[in-house]
Amino acid sequence: MKKFFVISLIIFLVLFTAVIKNSTKRFEDEIFASKESIRILEKDLKDLELEFTYLSSGKRLMDLQSKFFEDYLVVKKKKKIEIIDKSKEKIEIKKLEIFKNE
C-alpha cells in the first residue's frame, strides 16, 4: 500500500510538473510575441517621430527646397493647378477646387 501511494504521488508530481511546464511555455510564447509586436511598433513610432520633427518643420522644408530643388520647383497659381482623375475608364482633367475652410 505504501509503494502504491509513493508511485501514485510520483506520477502525480510528474504530470503536475508537465502541466505547469506547458502552461509556462505558452505564457512565454505569448510574451515573446507581444514583445516582438511592441518592438516593431516602437521602431515605426521612432521613424514617424523623426519624420514629424525633422522633416515637417517649415524652415527645414525651405532649406531642403533651396538645397535640392531650386531649379525644379516653380511657383504656380492655385487656379492653374489641375487634377488628373484616372479612376474611370477614361482620364479626366479637373480644376482644383479651393474652399474658404481649407
**Could you read off the pLDDT of 44-91 as tens digits, one per residue?**
999 888 878 777 777 777 787 788 877 777 777 777 777 777 777 777
pLDDT band for position 102 (cuts 50, 70, 90) = very low
Is 60 among the domain residues?
A: yes
Containing structural domain, residue 53: 2-70
Question: Number of C-alpha atoms within 13 angstroms, CB side, residue 96?
Answer: 10
Q: How far apart are the C-alpha atoms of 98 and 80, rounded to whole Å?
A: 12
| Number of domain units in the chain | 1
Is 25 among the domain residues?
A: yes
pTM > 0.75: yes or no: no
